[in-house]
Amino acid sequence: MSTRMPEKNSRARRPQAAQKQQSNNADRNESARVWKTLGGRVQEVLAKPQLNYMVILTVTMLLTGLGLVMVLSSSMVNSRASGGSVYTEFFRQAAIVVVGLIAMWFALRISPQRMRKLSPYLMGLAFILLIAVLIPGVGVGGDEVGSNSWIRFAGVGIQPSEAAKLALAVFGSSVAAHGIAKYNTVNQALGPLFAAGGVFMLLVMLQKDLGMMLLVGIVMLALVFFAGTNQRVFLGALGVIFLVGVGAIALQAYRSARITTWMDALFLNFSDSSTQGSAYQSHQGILSLSDGGFTGLGLGQSRAKWFYLPEATNDFIFAVVGEELGFLGAILVVVLFGLLGWFGIRTALKHTDPFMRMLSATLTLGVVVQAMINIGYVVGLLPVTGIQLPLISAGGTSAVITLIAMGLLANCARHEPETVSSMQHEGRPLIDRILMLPEPLPVIAGAERRQDRRNTTQQFGEPVTRQRGGAGRVGQDARRERDRLEESRRRVGAEFHERDYDGRRHGSLPPVRETRSERAAREGMPRTTQARRSNRPDSRRR
């Protein structure tokens, strides 16, 4: 009995094991089917023609709204301490955002062709502003932040380097798209771009604004990279920008101290002397992030804004976001900028026109990299450079220029070939009808280049298809054949013959009897009168 029981038990376990294996296989198949279905739905959503456009608009509005809320929360104490209301700074920022949204609306309406035509004028205006800010008495800001980067006009501060960054992106995209199609070498194609970018970086460096010089250099590198240059050119441009940055840091003692502060923040090894000196702001920013925890202290409950954290509404506003909204709020900001970067690059890849492709990629990279630099030095991963967090930090020129850039990026998304076809067949979306945006027209790749070729063909001689003046305006081939036939007739002595076969044939036929209507037309009598006379009875009798 003892030897047969295990055999019966093993036989009993076999169906159970098989059923369990079948159940596991069914579960795995069900999971695979669910994931496959989910992946198919995601792919279906991502394949929608207007998705990039709607996501860019939505993310821009979310970041702008979050920025206004955080400016209100972080500026209450300073606004009240300045003798005004707690809403003074918020109302000022809200007015600037309204101006930026109006400018963004104009950027959404402008056509890509007009964009390219206006790029040289934008460069000229930016160059004039960069020169003006260097004039003593015109440029201000040296006593406040250490760099003369602003121009005060009627109580409004203008930062020319922000305008220069946008102008360089539009002008560089136009120059690179035109030059690459026209020339064979990189130096000829990107020569104007290198010259304009180098001049702009030099002028910004003379303002002693290392952070903005870095942003202009990033735009320059993005243009060089997306133009499709080889690796040596890109690494050469990167090396030049790096050497210029190192030289600018070495010339100023306080910039060298930022490297030491960065090392302290990176390893969280602050000394007592540095926390009261050069590392004070970085130390307070990290303390604010650590106080927020996972869910944050609550909106408006930041303790750092009570004069503990300098620049709480500008450069270090991300620390206030992490303190009040916690890790979840900070991750939300990072995810929004990540979505902006992803769908901006998707927009660039959807385009076939080189100008639109380069402009989309450059604008996307300029805004997203600026955000990553700001977040990086707030959390201690990068040296402090004084760069604002786009769409969230308080600022005048930065907010307006960034909203214009987002308007141009959304405009590029509206002019994707698939989006244009979708709007032409299905109609404009609701947001376009509310904003009264016109229906986008398709952008034909290389149309400007072909138009230039048409306008400059006279330098290569007259086109063979162009008709010349003369009797009948005959084509060049027909005229050449006619001259050849005439010359052959003269050689054989047949000049008295008609020039063609039909003429000779009609000349050999007997004459045709002329009708009354033909005779009346030949004699000048109206045909209707002759017809009426021919219908009279007496005329018929005759």
Provide φ and ψ at 261, rounded to 5°: -65, -40
CA 490 to CA 485: how far, in whole Å?
9
- Our measurement of the distance from residue 345's CA atom to the centroid of its chain's CA atoms, rounded to an integer in Å, reads 9
154 Cβ neighbours under 8 A, 6+ residues apart: none
Instruction: Indicate the SS3 state at residue 158.
Output: strand
Report the 10 Å Cβ neighbour count for 142.
13
CA dihedral sign, ordered 375, 378, 381, 385? positive
Instruction: Indicate the SS3 state at residue 151.
Output: strand
Which H or E element spans position 36?
helix 5-46
Angstrom distances, CA of residue 336 to CA of 97, 346, 402: 19, 15, 15
Asked if residue 475 lies in contact with residue 467, where contact means CB atoms within 8 angstroms, the answer is yes
* pLDDT of the residue at 272: 65
| Amino acid type, 284 | Q
Asked if residue 390 lies in contact with residue 376, where contact means CB atoms within 8 angstroms, the answer is no
- Owner of token pair 């009798």: 541
DSSP 277: T
DSSP 490: H
DSSP 463: -
Report the 10 Å Cβ neighbour count for 437.
18
* pLDDT of the residue at 540: 45
Asked if residue 223 lies in contact with residue 195, where contact means CB atoms within 8 angstroms, the answer is no
CA 167 to CA 122: how far, in whole Å?
5
Helix 397-414 × helix 317-350 angle, to 10°: 30
Counting residues of the chain whose pLDDT is more than 90, the rounded percentage is: 27
* pLDDT of the residue at 454: 57
* pLDDT of the residue at 539: 45
* pLDDT of the residue at 18: 65
* pLDDT of the residue at 143: 53
* pLDDT of the residue at 402: 94
Asked if residue 286 lies in contact with residue 254, where contact means CB atoms within 8 angstroms, the answer is no
| Amino acid type, 534 | S
Angstrom distances, CA of residue 301 to CA of 49, 77, 310, 316, 321: 43, 12, 17, 16, 11
> Which ranges of 82-230 would DSSP assign to H, the alpha helix?
88-109, 112-132, 142-145, 160-182, 186-206, 210-226
Can you give the pTM of this predicted structure?
A: 0.75
CA 338 to CA 368: how far, in whole Å?
8
Low-confidence ranges of the chain (pLDDT < 50): 1-3, 457-458, 470-473, 496-499, 527-531, 533-542
Supply 114's token pair: 């007009």
